[in-house]
Chain A
Amino acid sequence: MLYNQPNPLEVKVLSRRFTLPNSQSIETYLGSDGYKALEKALGMTQEQIIDEVKASGLRGRGGAGFPTGLKWSFVPRHSPKPKYIMVNADESEPGTCKDRLLIEYDPHQLIEGVIIAGQAVGAEQGYIYIRGEYRYLIDVMDRAIDEAYAKGILGDNVMGSGRKFNLASHSGAGAYECGEESALLESFEGKRGNPRIRPPFPAVAGCYQSPTILNNVETFCAVPPIFLNGGAYFAGLGSPKNGGTRLFCLSGHINKPGVYELPMGFNLMRMINEVGGGMRGGKKLKAVIPGGSSCPVLKADECDIAMDYDSVAAAKSMLGSGGVVVMDEDTCMVNAALRIMKFYAHESCGWCIPCREGTTWLKKLLTRFHEGMGQRSDIVLIGDLSKNMLGRTFCPLGDAAAMPTIAFVEKFKDEFEAHLDGKPCPYEKSNRLVHA
């Protein structure tokens, strides 16, 4: 059973099997065009596979939106080292809960996408790094992997092609930082999840310092539909330079929160009103975080935009990981900024000082503010401190903490001012933070 009702406006490509009975099983998968994309890809050259992905306009669904085909083309073809495919299933960006469904309802689609990626660069081994909290998904994935081995889809002779591809799951143990690609690789190697300095990027020196394709679950899941129907078909589903559909996770103050697959470029206001069922309790919209907690918040009057990477970037935010967090008029923006900063302070790995110290001090400043003990100069200080973190860390966690804070302070300065001079939070009743 799905966790939320589907919506007629959805364009179901990656999620089209979610409602099939026993959708996890290989029989269901094979009965609905499963592994036909792989069959096609096995007859193609590496260049042809990468060109097809490039033609699809697919961009990384983890957050950065880097063109997937281009990323794959960076893997040095003639490296003597073994090559690896790494799936980032460490989904932990607040507001994001889509990879969970892709694995839970259609694990074989992910497996097929990973094997095709392996064919694109000549890799014979893949791993799926799943966050520790998703224990039941590790079991789902292991069952699906066993089924694929039993059918000769994984193993020493992939679908009779004479090529080899092995795949295994890998459990994390609770760390947001490990969703960052280089920290994920460190963690995978059995170490603390501290990021690596880049370059070299994983395409050149990734897993075990070998060339590695590292993508988000949803990115790999988009690969079978691309090969089944052609890159041009997938590109045509979305907006220019933003191919395909994506799974948007609607949460917050709306009537029908849920995960919905919509074309790239779908209008945000329509998403809230027509897909999400409008605002809860008939309240007014105040703000939206468009792509997970690290994306700068949009004010209500900035929300009439197309949800694709370029349009949201033009609105000075990011499409991120597809986590659309909707906030109504009663939401305290100081509290929202504080809760998000509390998260980043908790999750900063401590490797880079601007991030470790910056997130901690921002948390302290925002806590003081929310308690009504802030000073007018703190508003400037919060902004300055955030700006001093930007671009000064190994990985994007520092930026992910700073960018939304800058937006909160700049766009809702009046609310910060309303907390000054010992005044209690005007929204205290509707929004409390228990322990910061």
Chain B
Amino acid sequence: MTFSPELEARFEKFLAKYPADRKRSAVIPMLIYGQDEVGAITDELVNEVAKRTGATPLQVTEVVGFYSMLHRKPQGKYHVQVCTNISCLLVGGAELWEQACRKTGLGHKETSKDGLISLEEVECMGACSWAPAVQVNYDFYHDVTPEQMDKLIDGLAAGKKPEQIADVQKVSC
């Protein structure tokens, strides 16, 4: 399996972090960064990670099933994650989630037909003091209102990148 030169360099760096007889530690970092490039955890990716870390494909497969961020099917180009856990719930997280569903016509863990947007109701993402919070891929959005959610979805649907959408403040760099 071939990866981009950047990902190859990253994998090499990962494998160098751990003692020579402990390369299996690189399984999860390789899977999640690999997934970012490949789009999903494919059998091919599982076998490649197994080969490079000295784990068996079965050992890698059982890891894939455990972690909520690892997925076998491709998600949308923009994976919109809305937190409805307690701190977000108290200040409108549930309404925000409903709004995201209405606006996109999607449900939990569903992807739009054009593959652009997918939706997920997620557990606490660590933005409790700036709730309700949303993550698009790895970027955080704080204090999001239903109106901002609309603008975010409209903007993404119109082919804009999240950072180009006015009124929706991305906070993480």
Question: Which residues of A are interface residues toward B (Cβ below 8 A)?
Answer: 3-4, 82, 91-97, 99-100, 127, 131-136, 168, 170-176, 187-193, 208, 249-253, 257-259, 289, 293, 323, 325, 327, 331, 335-336, 339-340, 343, 346-347, 349, 431-435
Query: Roughly how many angstroms separate A100 CA and B125 CA in the complex, as a whole number?
Result: 10
Query: Roughly how many angstroms separate A190 CA and B17 CA in the complex, as a whole number?
Result: 13
Closest 8 CB pairs of A and B: A174-B69, A190-B27, A174-B68, A173-B67, A190-B24, A135-B138, A251-B87, A94-B124
Asked if A325 and B86 make an inter-chain contact with CB atoms under 8 angstroms apart, the answer reads: yes
Asked if A434 and B98 make an inter-chain contact with CB atoms under 8 angstroms apart, the answer reads: yes
Asked if B108 and A435 make an inter-chain contact with CB atoms under 8 angstroms apart, the answer reads: yes
Asked if A136 and B89 make an inter-chain contact with CB atoms under 8 angstroms apart, the answer reads: no
Q: Residues of B contacting A173 with CB < 8 Å?
A: 28, 31-32, 67-70
Q: Residues of A contacting B28 with CB < 8 Å?
A: 171-173, 187, 190
Question: Which residues of B are interface residues toward A (Cβ below 8 A)?
Answer: 17, 19, 22, 24-29, 31-33, 53, 55, 59, 62-63, 65-70, 84-87, 89-91, 94-95, 97-98, 101, 108, 121, 123-131, 135, 138-140, 142, 171-173
Query: Roughly how many angstroms separate A42 CA and B171 CA in the complex, as a whole number?
Result: 38
Q: Residues of B contacting A258 with CB < 8 Å?
A: 129-130
Can you report 9 residue pairs joining A to B where beta carbons are below 8 Å apart? A94-B123, A95-B87, A132-B32, A133-B138, A173-B70, A190-B26, A325-B87, A343-B124, A346-B123
Q: Residues of B contacting A92 with CB < 8 Å?
A: 123-124, 126
Which of B68, B86, B131 gathers the greatest number of chain A CB atoms within 10 Å? Answer: B86
Query: Roughly how many angstroms separate A95 CA and B91 CA in the complex, as a whole number?
Result: 13
Asked if A3 and B69 make an inter-chain contact with CB atoms under 8 angstroms apart, the answer reads: no
Contact A189-B29, Cβ < 8 Å, known A95-B128, A251-B129, A339-B84: no
| CB nearest neighbor in B for A140 | B173
| CB nearest neighbor in A for B67 | A173
Asked if A250 and B129 make an inter-chain contact with CB atoms under 8 angstroms apart, the answer reads: yes
Query: Roughly how many angstroms separate A94 CA and B123 CA in the complex, as a whole number?
Result: 8
Query: Roughly how many angstroms separate A199 CA and B19 CA in the complex, as a whole number?
Result: 25
Asked if B90 and A249 make an inter-chain contact with CB atoms under 8 angstroms apart, the answer reads: no
Q: Residues of A contacting B121 with CB < 8 Å?
A: 434-435
Asked if B123 and A190 make an inter-chain contact with CB atoms under 8 angstroms apart, the answer reads: no
Q: Residues of A contacting B129 with CB < 8 Å?
A: 3-4, 97, 249-251, 257-259
Extra inter-chain contacts (4) besides given A82-B19, A249-B128, A336-B89, CB under 8 Å = A170-B29, A171-B29, A192-B63, A343-B85
Query: Roughly how many angstroms separate A190 CA and B22 CA in the complex, as a whole number?
Result: 9
Q: Residues of A contacting B31 with CB < 8 Å?
A: 173
Asked if B94 and A432 make an inter-chain contact with CB atoms under 8 angstroms apart, the answer reads: yes
Query: Roughly how many angstroms separate A336 CA and B89 CA in the complex, as a whole number?
Result: 8
| CB nearest neighbor in A for B69 | A174
Q: Residues of B contacting A323 with CB < 8 Å?
A: 87, 128
Asked if A91 and B63 make an inter-chain contact with CB atoms under 8 angstroms apart, the answer reads: no
Q: Residues of A contacting B89 with CB < 8 Å?
A: 335-336, 339, 431, 433
Which of A4, A82, A327, A435 touches B90 (beta carbons < 8 Å)? A327
